[in-house]
Amino acid sequence: MIEAALAVEQLKLRRSALVRTTTALLVLGVPALVAGLSAAATRAAPGSALAVKAGALGAAQGWPAYLGLVGQALAVAALLGTGVVVAWCFGREFTDGTITSLFALPVSRAATATAKCAVLTAWGLAVVAAVPVVAVLGGLLIGLGAPGADALAPGLRAAAVGALSVLLAQPVGLAASAGRGPLPAVGALLLVVVLTQVVTALGAGAWFPYAAPGLWAGAGGPQAADGVRALHLALVPLVALIGHVATATWWARAQVV
């Protein structure tokens, strides 16, 4: 019966205007933003306000720096974009009043929640995998030239950072379910973003799953990136698994009130 739930959730995702908009913003918006910053850093007059601001964000000439900035942007954009879609996917069942009909279906509510998580994860991973590819096209347009072998590692890291951020968005489903709507989940997501900044400022970002991918991408500088180990990154899929199990359990025990 899980196959039926997967088919339904895939159909909902394909027909959602929010999903199409989020996909476009991530796949096209992130590369466009990074390309613009990189162009500003390389073409602005030395010492100008624009050059200083672009340089402070890490924009610099060359493929490694360019794709590194793509990874930094994905660490935040993929979390927020995927998180909003997850909040909508779970929360709409309450705001649209369709939650009651799920109690009459032969598919268990836990299976429905599992199908939602699986479809959302697959969609998010496909989206973030496309971002570095589009970013390469953006780099060519701003005159970086053909990418060499030194672009492979930062490109793969950018995709990996995006994938980790997609996984970190999965627990948002629990917030949308417990809050019975997407808005509480979006509020929880924003709270996590603020908390991430605080934990990072206190120097414990590597051990905080929501901060580790961004630090690994270079958002805190080379020294902070070197301090992120495989153990720190391994906490991310653990968070996603706990979020999925907690969400499925909540749905299995949910009652209409």
Question: What's the rounded Cα separation, in Å, for the pair 82 and 125?
Answer: 10
Of residues 75, 53, 54, 72, the one with CA closest to residue 64: 72
Q: What is the number of helices (H) and of strands (E) in the chain?
A: 12, 0
pLDDT of residue 38: 82
pLDDT of 200 reads 93
Q: Digits of tens for pLDDT over the chain (257 positions)?
A: 678 888 989 999 999 999 999 999 999 999 999 998 887 766 655 555 555 555 555 555 689 989 999 999 999 999 999 999 999 999 999 998 888 888 777 888 899 999 999 999 999 999 999 999 999 999 999 888 889 898 999 999 999 999 999 999 999 999 999 999 999 999 999 999 999 999 999 989 999 999 999 999 988 888 888 899 999 999 999 999 999 999 999 999 887 65
pLDDT for position 106? 83
Q: HSE on the CB side for 102, CA within 13 Å?
A: 23
Q: Cα torsion at 151, 153, 158, 160 (round to 10°)?
A: 150
pTM of the model: 0.91
Residues 211, 76: contact at Cβ < 8 Å?
no
Residue 60 is predicted with a pLDDT of: 54
Provide the token pair at 40: 């500003």
For residues 151 and 153, give the distance between their C-alpha atoms in angstroms, rounded to a whole number: 6
64 near 150, Cβ under 8 Å? yes
Residue (of 63, 201, 223, 52) closest to 143 by Cα position: 63
Q: What is the pLDDT of residue 51?
A: 56
